[in-house]
């Protein structure tokens, strides 16, 4: 991230540090791989809250709490459904479940201390909707009842952005602001997801569980077609994000958001250059 282009990037990094500090436990870290934070999403949430006139201290509390819940939900998404063969692997699986619960519970304590009762209720409702979306997506994959592209992204977006969108929906000061920030959250999350899958296909030469796997399960689909579709989708989504940001006022926020969306273009262009040189 470029500090020159995003004045608040260091503050977001401090938020991420606070999230990991509040969720750190040596015993858990020994057995469990802690997922990385979606820093871009936290940065968007932080900018949104400041734009609504929230103090930096309160915005930091909201972002830290939301990040803790997301970390817990991400932990649970990595839990395997079947029992492991070895005692160590099974202990890791069990601790992953407990760690996810622990991280999710930490948000409640943080917001309760700050007397942010409405925020607790907002995130609690979002957690329920996120888990429902996970079950629908898992059941559809298990039963071979694939949703349409639109249905897939609706569920995936709820899983990836449900917490952030819930905060935006509750605390936006106008309908225009609410609509803009909700859509930006969803579209940028799509970009991150698609680019991440594209990189995994190219570097690890395997199809990740996600949009690429969803496409590959369609009748007659080939890996080359999936790779092309993933690349096309990524470029299309970036264009949509850039178009949205260009319509935003005030100019200062537009400039910061442009820097965020530019990261995706740089990441794709870098990936393309490396592929061409291989």
Is pLDDT above 60 for 110? Answer: yes
pLDDT bucket at 2, cuts 50 / 70 / 90 = very low
What average pLDDT does this structure show over 236-265? 78
Rg for the chain, CA atoms, rounded: 19
pLDDT of residue 179: 92
- Do the Cβ atoms of 245 and 261 come closer than 8 Å? yes
Among 12-16, 52-56, 75-79, 269-273, the minimum mean pLDDT is found in 75-79
pLDDT of residue 107: 86
pLDDT bucket at 266, cuts 50 / 70 / 90 = confident
39-51 and 9-23 helices cross at what angle (nearest 10)?
A: 120
117-143 and 149-171 helices cross at what angle (nearest 10)?
A: 180
Q: What is the pTM of this model?
A: 0.81
pLDDT bucket at 4, cuts 50 / 70 / 90 = very low
pLDDT tens digits, 181-234: 999 999 888 888 888 877 777 766 666 567 777 777 777 777 778 777 877 887
Counting Cα atoms < 13 Å in the Cβ hemisphere of 240 gives 16
pLDDT tens digits, 135-191: 888 887 777 777 777 888 899 899 999 999 999 999 999 999 999 999 999 988 888
What average pLDDT does this structure show over 47-60? 94
pLDDT tens digits, 11-34: 888 998 888 887 766 666 666 666
* Assigned token pair, 191: 């970009």
């Amino acid at each position: 991230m470029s500090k020159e282009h995003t004045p608040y990037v260091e503050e977001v990094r401090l938020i991420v540090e606070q999230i990991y500090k509040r969720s750190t436990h040596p015993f858990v870290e020994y057995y469990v791989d802690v997922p990385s934070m979606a820093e871009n999403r936290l940065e968007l949430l932080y900018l949104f809250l400041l734009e609504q006139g929230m103090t930096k201290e309160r915005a930091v509390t909201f972002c830290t709490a939301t990040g803790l819940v997301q970390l817990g939900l991400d932990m649970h998404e990595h839990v395997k459904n079947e029992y492991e063969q070895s005692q160590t692997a099974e202990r890791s699986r069990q601790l992953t479940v407990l760690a996810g619960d622990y991280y999710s519970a930490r948000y409640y304590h943080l917001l309760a201390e700050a007397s942010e009762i409405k925020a607790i209720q907002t995130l609690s409702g979002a957690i329920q909707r996120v888990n429902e979306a996970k079950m629908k997506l898992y059941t559809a994959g298990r039963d071979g009842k694939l949703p349409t592209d639109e249905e897939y992204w609706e569920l995936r977006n709820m899983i990836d952005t449900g917490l952030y969108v819930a905060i935006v929906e509750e605390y936006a000061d106008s309908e225009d602001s609410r609509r803009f920030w909700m859509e930006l959250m969803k579209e940028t999350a799509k970009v991150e997801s698609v680019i991440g899958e594209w990189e995994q296909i190219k570097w690890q030469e395997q199809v990740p569980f996600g949009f690429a796997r969803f496409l590959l399960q369609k009748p007659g689909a080939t890996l080359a077609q999936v790779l092309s579709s993933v690349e096309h989708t990524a470029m299309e989504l970036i264009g949509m994000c850039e178009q949205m940001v260009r319509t935003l006022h005030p100019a200062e926020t537009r400039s910061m958001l442009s820097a965020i969306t530019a990261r995706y273009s740089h990441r794709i262009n870098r990936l393309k250059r490396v592929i061409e040189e291989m």
